[in-house]
Amino acid sequence: MAITVVGSVAYDSIETPAGRRERCLGGAATYFSLSASFFTDVRVIAVVGEDFGPEQEAVLTRRKIDTRGIERAAGKSFFWEGSYMENLNEAKTHKTDLNVFASFQPKIPDAYRDSEFLFLANIDPVLQRRVREAMPGVKLVAGDTMNYWIKDHRPALLEVLKGLDILLINDTETRMLAGNSNLVQAARKVLTFGPRMLIVKHGEYGSTLFHKSIPQGQISETFRAPAFPLEEVVDPTGAGDSFAGGFFGYLASQPELTPDAFRRAMFYGGVMGSFTVECFGTDRLQQLSRAEIDHRFQLFRELTHLD
Amino acid sequence: MAITVVGSVAYDSIETPAGRRERCLGGAATYFSLSASFFTDVRVIAVVGEDFGPEQEAVLTRRKIDTRGIERAAGKSFFWEGSYMENLNEAKTHKTDLNVFASFQPKIPDAYRDSEFLFLANIDPVLQRRVREAMPGVKLVAGDTMNYWIKDHRPALLEVLKGLDILLINDTETRMLAGNSNLVQAARKVLTFGPRMLIVKHGEYGSTLFHKSIPQGQISETFRAPAFPLEEVVDPTGAGDSFAGGFFGYLASQPELTPDAFRRAMFYGGVMGSFTVECFGTDRLQQLSRAEIDHRFQLFRELTHLD
């Protein structure tokens, strides 16, 4: 089944202990799409500026990603500059130029309307909601957000959450959204806001799936997937979006959304995140093969398997 | 097989968001012993002061722990006061009174000499080494340490590491000991210091077992066990020592030290840590049953099981 994703397609300048890269292709929708494209058809809704050329578009189209929903606007593409010099788990933002993104009004191509899966990447919740409402027929909706929207755009974000099946955020965002420092209590609270599943990403420690049906004091419907301990992390940018792409892409490829399919999807999410951080930007995702993905999935499984 | 453990038996005054407790029985050897006692025979080497009475001793002897190696000295027992008000993952130490521990000279009762397993809990590495050398016939030796010894007593600690089969420390300690912020690289470095296995405890995120034989760039011999997401953490004190007790106790109960036994031992470690934090001090360990332990082991397994 096809996924439509709305989010940013951007340029990133990134500094990490492994080096520095200027203006590499990035943005949540880019990482998500590339990652999900190994599992299913992906259609992107985004806006780019005049600096987005055929070379950048080919990164997506080579992976058969539908780019008809990427609007070209006068001006420059969204630009982000950040570094991870002290802590590979947390980016320090040096510059954010919204550019054409400041006036982004998502338009949904007719060819996208039969998408059965919808992913609302981390953008203004007002836009997330608009896209959600414009695609009422989708079967499964997942979304991401960040501290900025949680803190300063809470009412709009809460409206989005009502329309989500699955929310994917990290530990800090979960605690912030719930106003509770205990992760299980915070997860339970977030699940009262609308989504029936919450996936909390723990970075190098894996991820946890919480279900709405989780009874007080029980964890029987909780699932935890490990992350892959990596010898070298070159650039953490996009790991979370790659996780989301692997997770949602795998789900979209499944004939039935069984509990086991969700568990495997969590593993695939971790696998895709682990590839992304091996190189700068989307380099690793661009070179990846499905065979490598499935091989690493097996390593993941062995990593935590108990007879 | 019996385990001998050397470490602190102490009094702790603890403050957490759940409340405050004055002078509850604590110390690494206490938590370790109580935890391991659910799996195998445990013998303690420690020193206590005149404030350690029959009531405290009964906490150990009720669990059939051999206390003949607990020396009574003139003065007061080791005392620690700490809080976890801002962060349940890290204690803030307010007071440490070594008291009788300052002049502790471990003495090994003859009845302990046939122990096949030895655990060197977190104490001065000079004492750890002395006990290790006094028990050359043990089959498996594991140990713990902390930032203080890593920073200020490195040469003595490195001597201890040479005599260890398994080192159990947390993420921060691993990175500090290796002088490397990448966990896999740090683990590899620590394994060059002597131990053939390193278990890194990640707190609420579980633990990872690294083998000495891990080839460059490979993780095939790495194992990651999850932790249990808990609705309420009352008091994190002793979680790491309880992990060690569950891990080492389970191993000592096994007829053969197979890779699978090590994997299950990691799960049991996490299980025991998860019980300890549910109440103040050793309260939960004192009330625990083997049936509860095995039930939670099954929950742990389900938590990460992939068909």
Our CA-based measurement puts residue B207 at a distance from the nearest CA of chain A, in whole angstroms, of 9
Q: DSSP letters of B129-197?
A: HHHHHH-TT-SEEEE---HHHHHH-HHHHHHHHHT-SEEEEEHHHHHHHHT-SSHHHHHHHHHTTS-SE
Within 10 Å of residue A94's Cβ, how many Cβ atoms? 11
Interchain CB distance below 8 Å, B222 and A301 = no
Residue B13, token pair as written in the block: 């005054």
pLDDT in tens, B224-252: 998 877 888 999 999 999 999 999 999 99
Interchain CB distance below 8 Å, A219 and B303 = yes
pTM (predicted TM-score): 0.91
Of B187, B232, B301, the CB nearest to A306: B301
Task: Write out chain A residues lying below 8 Å of B230, CB-based.
Answer: 182, 184
Interchain CB distance below 8 Å, B226 and A301 = no
Strand pairing of A42-48 and A3-6? parallel
CB–CB contacts below 8 A, A to B: 96
Interchain CB distance below 8 Å, A228 and B205 = no
Task: Write out chain A residues lying below 8 Å of B217, CB-based.
Answer: 231
Which portions of chain A are predicted below pLDDT 50?
217-219
Q: What is the pLDDT of residue B229?
A: 78
Q: What is the pLDDT of residue A216?
A: 53
Of A205, A230, A305, the CB nearest to B205: A205
Where would I find the H helices in chain A?
Answer: 28-36, 54-61, 125-134, 147-152, 154-162, 171-178, 183-191, 239-252, 259-276, 283-287, 290-304
Of B183, B216, B301, the CB nearest to A229: B183
Of B219, B264, B301, the CB nearest to A299: B219
How far out from the chain centre does Cα B168 lie?
Answer: 7
SS3 A31: helix
Cα of first residue to Cα of last residue in chain A, in angstroms, is 34
The sign of the CA dihedral A121, A224, B223, B44 is positive
Note whether B287 contacts A: Cβ–Cβ < 8 A. Answer: no
The predicted complex's ipTM stands at 0.85
pLDDT tens string, chain B, 307 residues long: the values are: 999 999 999 999 999 999 999 999 999 999 999 999 999 999 999 999 999 999 999 999 999 999 999 999 999 999 999 999 877 878 899 999 999 999 999 999 999 999 999 999 999 999 999 999 999 999 999 999 999 999 999 999 999 999 999 999 999 999 999 999 889 899 999 999 999 999 999 988 899 999 886 555 444 568 999 887 788 899 999 999 999 999 999 999 999 999 899 999 999 999 999 999 999 999 999 999 999 999 999 988 988 888 7
DSSP secondary structure letter of residue A107:
-
Q: Are A200 and A170 in contact (CB under 8 A)?
A: yes
Of A202, A229, A263, the CB nearest to B208: A229
Residues 119 through 178 of chain B touching chain A, CB cutoff 8 Å: none
Q: Chain B interface, mutation test: which of A205, A214, A271, most B Cβ atoms within 10 Å? A: A205
What percent of chain B has pLDDT above 90? Answer: 85
